[in-house]
C-alpha cells in the first residue's frame, strides 16, 4: 500500500533562531528523493525536526504521514508510525549491546500498542532474523554483542544504522549524511544495504547529502535543493549533475533573497 | 514499660500462655520495643548460649550505649532506638525441608523464588525470617567433605570452638556503634566453614526477610575459608513497606586463608523505610582472593563499606558495588581496602545511580601501610544522575605510608544525555524504557560479574526501580 509523507510550509527554529523557513516536500513509498544543499542550509534541521528532537521547535507548518499530523507525537511514537532517521552522528550507549537495543526497538515498532514492561519479541526468532539481516549486510555476527556505537569506526556506525533500518522496516527513512566520513567502499556497502531494504519493504527514502557520490549507488528519482532554509529547486537526477558541475553559485545567483538567508544561517 | 518487661520475662518461661504470639502473625516470641540489659539477657537465655557469648553481648551493649551516633555519612538522628523490636521469632523451630516451614512464611519465600532457585542452581540455602533462620539446607556431598553451612545460632551450639576462635575477631565489638549493637542483640545469620582444599563451584545462598513493622534485624554472618578452599556466598534481602522505620544492622566477618578464594555477593532490595547499617569486613591472607559484589537498592539510608584487609603477601581484594538511590533514599556506600602486606593488590569499581531526588555517595578508604611495598590499587567510581533533583557525591580517603606502590583513582559523574534519549526514542523506545536501558548499560560492567540468575534479578530490580513501583 502506498504511503504518503507530506511536509507543508515547515518552519523550524533552534534557540529562537529560525532555520527552516517554509519547507515543502512530498514523498511516496518506494520513491527515492535526494535533498542536497550546502553546509548550514538546514538539511540536518529538517531531519531532526521530522524525527521529533525536542530542541527543534516547529513554529509553523505540518508534517503529515498518510494524512495524520505527526508533529504532536513524541519521537518514539513517530518511529512507531513508520518514520526512521539514520543519524549522521549516532550516539553511543555504553553497556547496551546492539542486539539488546534492537530487540527493544523492534518490539516497540512492530507492536505499537505494547505497554511498557510487556514481553519483548521472542529471543529465538529475533536472533534468527538479526543474524540473517547481518549476513545480508556482510556484518560479523560478533557485531551484535558489541555495545551500541561504542568504539565503532565511522563505517561501523553507518552500517549499524542501516542494520536498524533493515530490522525496523520503516515506511519512510531519512538518511542524514550517511556517506559522510566513509571511504568509497564503505559508501557502496552501506548504499547497497539501503537499496535492498527499500526494494524489500518499499520504504520511501530521503537521502540527505552534499556529495553526489552516494547518489551513484542510491539513485534518486527526485532531487531537491535546500538553500537558505527553503527548498528552492525540485527536479530529477539531472540536478545532481548540474550541482556537480557548477556548484551552488548558480543557485545563489538565481535566488538572491535565499542567498541572504543562507549567509545569515552560516554565521 | 516495667509491666511489659515483667510480662516478657514471664513470657520466656512459657511463651504461649502469656499470649506473646502476635494474633495476626502467630509469632512465637516478640520482644517489647526498646533495648536494655534484660532484653539482651533474654535473647541469650532463649538461645541457651554459653556464658562467654552472654558476656560478649552485655559488654557490646555497653559499647553501643557509650559510642555516639556517627555524624557523617547519612542522617541518623531520626532513628529512634526505643521504637524498635530487637528480637522476633516467627516460627518455633527450623525446617530441614520447606514443608517444615510454617505455610505463611514458606509462601513468602516462594514468592521470593528461593525454593525454586535452590532446586536449580544452589548448593545450599539459608532463609531467615525476622530474627531467626527458618530453613537451612546443604548439599549432601558438601556435608561429607566437611563443609559447614548453618545458621550462626546452631553453629554456636554445634561448633562452639570455631565460634570462640573467630567470632568478633575480624570486627571487634568496639569497632563502631552498629557493630556493637549487632554484637549485643545478634540473631541468625550464616556460619560457613570451608575445609582446606574444598572448592564449591556453585553458590551458597542466604535470604533475609524482615516482615514486621519496627523490626530490627541483626543477623551475624561468619565465613571461614581454609587454605586453598573456595566458596561463593550470596545474600539477598527484602522487606515490605510500612509507614514507620525498621532497622537492619548486620555484621559479616570473613577470613580467607592462604590461597583461598571467597566471593560474597549481596543484592539488597529494602523497602524505603529501612535503615540499613551494615559492617562487612574480610581478612585475606597470603595469595588469597576476597571479592565483594554489592548491590544496594532501596532503604531509607544505607551505610555500608565492605572492607578487605590484605594481610598476607600477594593477597588480592576486590569490591564491586552498585547503588541505586530513588526518592527519599540515601545510599552512602563504598569500600575500604587496607594493604597490610607486600605485593597485595586491590580493585574497587563503584557505580551509582540517583533518581527522583535520591542521593548516592561513594565513600572509600584506601590505606597502604608502611612495608606493603609493591602493592597496587585501582579505584574507579562512576555516578549517573537521572534528573536535576538528584545528587551524587564522592568522598575518597587515601592514606599511603609506603613509597613503592601504584595507585589509580578515577571518578566520573554523568547525566543521562538528551542525545542518548533521543536516539533511543527515535527507535521506538519510550522515554522511560530508554532511560532504563541506559541505566542497565551503565551497570552492565558489574552485572556481568554476577552469576546469570542474579544478573537477571539485578536487571529486573533496576527496571522496577526505574518504574518507581517497588514497595
pLDDT in tens, B125-146: 888 888 888 888 888 899 999 9
Structure confidence at residue B448 (pLDDT): 82
Q: What is the dihedral of CA B424, B430, B435, B441, to 10 degrees?
A: -50
CB atoms within 10 A of CB B13: 8
Q: Strand B307-310 and strand B274-284: pairing? A: parallel
CA angle A26–A28–A29, rounded 5-degree value? 150
B15 closest CA partner among B2, B28, B6: B28
Q: From the CA of A168, how many Å to the nearest CA of chain B? A: 8
From residue B136, give the alpha-carbon distance in Å to each of B26, B172, B182, B393, B397: 21, 27, 22, 40, 40
Asked if B469 is an interface residue toward chain A (Cβ–Cβ < 8 A), one would say: no
The reply to whether residue A105 touches residue B420, judged by beta carbons under 8 angstroms, is: no
Residue B446 pLDDT class (50, 70, 90 cuts): confident
Residue A162 pLDDT class (50, 70, 90 cuts): very high
* Residues A53-62, mean pLDDT to the nearest whole number: 95
Q: Is residue B286 within 8 Å of B258, Cβ to Cβ?
A: yes
Residue B241 pLDDT class (50, 70, 90 cuts): low
The reply to whether residue B424 touches residue A93, judged by beta carbons under 8 angstroms, is: yes
User: Which residues of chain B neighbour A150 with C-beta distances below 8 Å?
Assistant: none
Residue B235 pLDDT class (50, 70, 90 cuts): confident
Residues in chain A: 267
Give per-residue pLDDT as tens, B405-414.
Answer: 999 998 888 8
Residue B206 pLDDT class (50, 70, 90 cuts): confident
Q: Is residue B291 within 8 Å of B270, Cβ to Cβ?
A: no
User: Which residues of chain B neighbour A54 with C-beta distances below 8 Å?
Assistant: 418, 422
Q: Is residue B298 within 8 Å of B271, Cβ to Cβ?
A: yes
Structure confidence at residue B11 (pLDDT): 30
A29 closest CA partner among A203, A220, A221, A201: A203
Q: Is the pLDDT of residue A2 over 90?
A: no
Our measurement of the distance from residue A241's CA atom to the centroid of its chain's CA atoms, rounded to an integer in Å, reads: 22
Burial (Cβ within 10 Å: 0-12, 13-18, ≥19) of residue B105: buried
Structure confidence at residue B239 (pLDDT): 66
Q: From the CA of B240, how many Å to the nearest CA of chain A? A: 22
Mean pLDDT lowest among B208-217, B323-332, B364-373: B208-217
What's the distance, Cα to Cα, between the start and end of chain A in Å?
44
Structure confidence at residue B458 (pLDDT): 75
Q: From the CA of B419, how many Å to the nearest CA of chain A? A: 7
- List strands edge to edge, sheet with A57-65: A17-28, A4-14, A57-65, A68-69
Structure confidence at residue B346 (pLDDT): 98
Task: Please indicate whether residue A170 or residue B234 has the higher confidence score (pLDDT).
Answer: A170
Q: From the CA of B441, how many Å to the nearest CA of chain A? A: 4
The reply to whether residue A52 touches residue B425, judged by beta carbons under 8 angstroms, is: yes
Structure confidence at residue B15 (pLDDT): 27
Q: Is residue A157 within 8 Å of A190, Cβ to Cβ?
A: no
pLDDT above 90: percentage of residues in chain A: 81
pTM: 0.78
From residue A119, give the alpha-carbon distance in Å to each of A114, A195, B377, B461: 9, 32, 43, 16
Sequence-distant contacts of B428-433: CB under 8 A, at least 24 apart: B428/A76, B428/A79, B428/A80, B428/A104, B428/A105, B428/A108, B428/A109, B428/A168, B429/A76, B429/A104, B429/A105, B429/A108, B430/A74, B430/A76, B430/A108, B430/A116, B431/A74, B431/A76, B432/A116, B432/B466, B432/B467, B433/A104, B433/A108, B433/A116
- Which ipTM did the prediction report? 0.96
Give per-residue pLDDT as tens, B72-104.
Answer: 888 998 889 998 989 888 777 787 888 888 887
Burial (Cβ within 10 Å: 0-12, 13-18, ≥19) of residue B64: buried
Asked if B399 is an interface residue toward chain A (Cβ–Cβ < 8 A), one would say: no
Residues in chain B: 471
Task: Read off the C-alpha cell for A244.
Answer: 556537480
- List strands edge to edge, sheet with A83-86: A83-86, A172-176, A204-209, A32-36, A222-227, A230-235
Q: Is the pLDDT of residue A112 over 90?
A: no
CA angle A182–A185–A191, rounded 5-degree value? 80
* Residues A142-158, mean pLDDT to the nearest whole number: 94
Phi then psi dihedrals of residue B134, to 5 deg = -100, -10
Q: Is the pLDDT of residue B8 over 50?
A: no
B206 closest CA partner among B104, B303, B129, B110: B129
Burial (Cβ within 10 Å: 0-12, 13-18, ≥19) of residue A150: middle
CA angle A14–A18–A24, rounded 5-degree value? 110
- Stated as kind and residue range, the H or E segment containing A256 is helix A256-266
Structure confidence at residue B471 (pLDDT): 30
Q: From the CA of B459, how many Å to the nearest CA of chain A? A: 12
Residue B152 pLDDT class (50, 70, 90 cuts): very high
- Residue A262 DSSP SS3: helix
Structure confidence at residue B9 (pLDDT): 32
User: Which residues of chain A neighbour B442 with C-beta distances below 8 Å?
Assistant: 94-95
- Stated as kind and residue range, the H or E segment containing A257 is helix A256-266
**How far is A9 from B443, CA to CA, in rounded Å?**
45
Q: Is the pLDDT of residue B324 over 50?
A: yes
Structure confidence at residue A267 (pLDDT): 59
What residues contact residue B425 under an 8 Å CB cut-off, 6+ apart? A52, A74, A75, A76, A79, B431, B434
The reply to whether residue B431 touches residue A76, judged by beta carbons under 8 angstroms, is: yes
* Residues A204-228, mean pLDDT to the nearest whole number: 94
The reply to whether residue A78 touches residue B426, judged by beta carbons under 8 angstroms, is: yes
> Around B5, how many Cα atoms within 13 Å sit in the side-chain half-sphere?
11
Phi then psi dihedrals of residue A53, to 5 deg = -65, 130
Residue B268 pLDDT class (50, 70, 90 cuts): confident
Q: Average pLDDT over chain B, rounded to whole?
A: 86
Q: Is residue A95 within 8 Å of B444, Cβ to Cβ?
A: yes
B215 closest CA partner among B177, B242, B176: B242
* Residues B355-369, mean pLDDT to the nearest whole number: 94
Q: Is the pLDDT of residue A129 over 60?
A: yes
* Residues B206-214, mean pLDDT to the nearest whole number: 79
- Residue A85 DSSP SS3: strand
Residue B353 pLDDT class (50, 70, 90 cuts): very high
Given 3-state DSSP classes, what are the helix, strand and coil percentages for chain A, each rounded to the nearest 5?
Answer: 40, 25, 35
From residue B396, give the alpha-carbon distance in Å to each of B338, B399, B408: 14, 10, 12
The reply to whether residue B429 touches residue A147, judged by beta carbons under 8 angstroms, is: no
Q: Is the pLDDT of residue B24 over 60?
A: no
User: Which residues of chain B neighbour A90 with C-beta distances below 8 Å?
Assistant: 423
The reply to whether residue A101 touches residue B437, judged by beta carbons under 8 angstroms, is: yes
Task: Please indicate whether residue B452 or residue B374 has the higher confidence score (pLDDT).
Answer: B374
The reply to whether residue B422 touches residue A53, judged by beta carbons under 8 angstroms, is: yes
Asked if B441 is an interface residue toward chain A (Cβ–Cβ < 8 A), one would say: yes
Q: Is the pLDDT of residue B429 over 60?
A: yes
Task: Read off the C-alpha cell for B392.
Answer: 551524587
User: Which residues of chain B neighbour A52 with C-beta distances below 8 Å?
Assistant: 422, 425-426
From residue B386, give the alpha-carbon distance in Å to each of B74, B129, B195, B325: 21, 35, 46, 10
What residues contact residue B428 under an 8 Å CB cut-off, 6+ apart? A76, A79, A80, A104, A105, A108, A109, A168
Q: Is residue B260 within 8 Å of B226, Cβ to Cβ?
A: yes
Q: From the CA of B119, how many Å to the nearest CA of chain A? A: 25
Task: Read off the C-alpha cell for B225.
Answer: 575459608
Residue B2 pLDDT class (50, 70, 90 cuts): very low
Q: Is residue A102 within 8 Å of A145, Cβ to Cβ?
A: no
Amino acid at each position: 500500500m502506498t504511503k504518503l509523507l507530506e511536509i507543508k510550509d515547515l518552519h523550524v527554529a533552534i534557540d529562537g533562531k529560525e532555520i527552516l523557513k517554509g519547507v515543502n516536500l512530498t514523498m511516496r513509498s518506494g520513491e527515492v528523493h535526494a535533498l542536497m544543499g550546502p553546509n548550514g542550509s538546514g538539511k540536518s534541521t529538517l531531519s531532526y525536526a521530522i524525527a521529533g528532537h525536542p530542541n527543534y521547535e516547529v513554529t509553523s507548518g505540518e508534517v503529515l504521514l498518510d494524512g495524520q499530523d505527526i508533529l504532536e507525537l513524541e519521537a518514539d511514537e513517530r518511529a512507531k508510525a513508520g518514520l526512521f532517521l539514520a543519524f549522521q552522528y549516532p550516539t553511543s550507549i555504553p553497556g547496551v549491546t546492539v542486539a539488546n537495543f534492537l530487540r527493544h526497538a523492534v518490539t516497540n515498532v512492530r507492536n505499537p500498542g505494547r505497554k511498557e514492561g510487556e514481553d519483548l519479541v521472542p529471543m529465538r526468532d529475533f536472533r534468527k532474523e538479526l543474524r540473517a539481516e547481518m549476513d545480508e549486510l556482510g556484518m560479523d555476527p560478533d557485531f551484535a554483542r558489541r555495545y551500541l556505537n561504542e568504539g565503532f569506526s565511522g563505517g561501523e556506525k553507518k552500517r549499524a544504522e542501516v542494520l536498524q533500518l533493515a530490522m525496523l522496516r520503516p515506511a519512510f527513512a531519512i538518511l542524514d549524511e550517511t556517506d559522510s566520513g566513509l571511504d568509497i567502499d564503505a559508501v557502496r556497502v552501506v548504499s547497497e544495504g539501503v537499496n535492498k531494504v527499500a526494494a524489500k519493504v518499499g520504504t520511501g527514502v530521503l537521502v540527505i547529502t552534499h556529495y553526489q557520490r552516494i547518489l551513484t549507488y542510491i539513485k534518486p528519482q527526485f532531487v531537491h535543493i535546500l538553500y537558505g532554509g527553503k527548498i528552492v529547486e525540485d527536479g530529477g537526477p539531472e540536478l545532481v549533475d548540474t550541482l556537480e558541475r557548477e556548484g551552488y553559485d548558480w543557485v545563489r545567483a538565481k535566488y538572491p533573497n535565499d542567498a541572504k538567508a543562507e549567509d545569515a544561517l552560516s554565521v | 514499660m516495667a509491666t511489659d518487661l515483667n510480662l516478657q520475662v514471664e513470657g520466656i518461661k512459657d511463651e504461649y500462655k502469656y499470649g506473646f504470639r502476635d494474633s495476626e502473625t502467630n509469632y512465637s516470641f516478640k520482644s517489647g520495643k526498646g533495648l536494655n540489659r534484660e532484653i539482651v539477657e533474654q535473647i541469650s537465655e532463649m538461645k541457651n548460649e554459653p556464658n562467654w557469648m552472654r558476656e560478649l553481648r552485655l559488654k557490646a551493649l555497653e559499647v553501643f550505649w557509650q559510642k555516639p551516633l556517627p555524624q557523617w555519612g547519612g542522617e541518623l538522628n531520626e532513628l529512634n532506638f526505643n521504637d524498635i523490636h530487637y528480637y522476633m521469632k516467627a516460627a518455633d523451630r527450623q525446617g530441614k525441608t520447606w514443608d517444615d516451614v510454617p505455610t505463611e512464611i514458606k509462601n513468602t519465600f516462594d514468592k521470593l523464588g528461593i525454593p525454586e532457585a535452590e532446586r536449580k542452581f544452589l548448593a545450599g540455602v539459608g532463609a531467615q525470617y525476622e530474627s531467626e533462620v527458618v530453613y537451612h539446607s546443604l548439599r549432601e556431598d558438601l556435608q561429607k567433605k566437611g563443609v559447614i553451612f548453618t545458621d550462626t545460632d546452631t553453629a554456636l551450639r554445634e561448633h562452639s570452638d570455631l565460634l570462640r576462635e573467630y567470632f568478633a575477631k575480624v570486627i571487634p565489638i568496639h569497632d563502631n556503634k552498629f557493630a556493637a549493637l549487632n554484637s549485643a542483640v545478634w540473631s541468625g545469620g550464616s556460619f560457613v566453614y570451608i575445609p582446606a582444599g574444598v572448592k564449591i563451584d556453585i553458590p551458597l545462598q542466604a535470604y533475609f526477610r524482615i516482615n514486621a513493622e519496627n523490626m530490627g534485624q541483626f543477623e551475624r554472618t561468619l565465613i571461614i575459608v581454609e587454605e586453598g578452599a573456595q566458596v561463593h556466598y550470596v545474600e539477598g534481602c527484602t522487606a515490605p513497606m510500612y509507614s514507620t522505620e525498621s532497622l537492619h544492622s548486620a555484621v559479616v566477618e570473613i577470613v580467607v586463608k592462604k590461597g583461598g578464594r571467597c566471593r560474597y555477593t549481596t543484592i539488597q532490595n529494602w523497602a524505603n523505610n529501612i535503615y540499613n547499617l551494615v559492617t562487612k569486613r574480610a581478612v585475606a591472607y597470603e595469595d588469597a582472593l576476597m571479592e565483594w559484589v554489592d548491590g544496594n537498592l532501596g532503604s531509607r539510608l544505607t551505610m555500608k563499606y565492605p572492607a578487605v584487609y590484605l594481610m598476607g603477601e600477594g593477597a588480592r581484594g576486590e569490591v564491586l558495588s552498585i547503588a541505586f538511590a530513588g526518592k527519599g533514599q540515601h545510599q552512602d556506600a563504598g569500600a575500604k581496602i587496607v594493604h597490610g602486606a607486600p605485593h597485595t593488590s586491590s580493585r574497587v569499581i563503584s557505580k551509582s545511580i540517583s533518581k527522583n531526588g535520591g542521593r548516592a555517595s561513594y565513600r572509600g578508604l584506601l590505606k597502604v601501610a608502611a612495608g606493603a611495598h609493591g602493592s597496587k590499587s585501582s579505584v574507579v567510581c562512576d555516578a549517573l544522575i537521572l534528573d536535576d533533583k538528584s545528587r551524587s557525591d564522592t568522598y575518597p580517603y587515601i592514606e599511603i605510608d609506603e613509597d613503592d606502590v601504584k595507585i589509580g583513582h578515577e571518578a566520573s559523574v554523568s547525566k543521562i544525555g538528551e542525545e542518548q534519549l533521543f536516539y533511543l526514542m527515535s527507535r521506538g523506545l519510550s522515554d522511560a524504557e530508554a532511560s532504563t536501558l541506559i541505566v542497565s548499560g551503565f551497570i552492565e560492567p558489574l552485572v556481568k560479574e554476577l552469576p546469570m540468575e542474579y544478573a537477571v534479578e539485578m536487571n529486573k530490580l533496576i527496571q522496577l526501580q526505574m518504574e518507581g513501583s517497588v514497595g
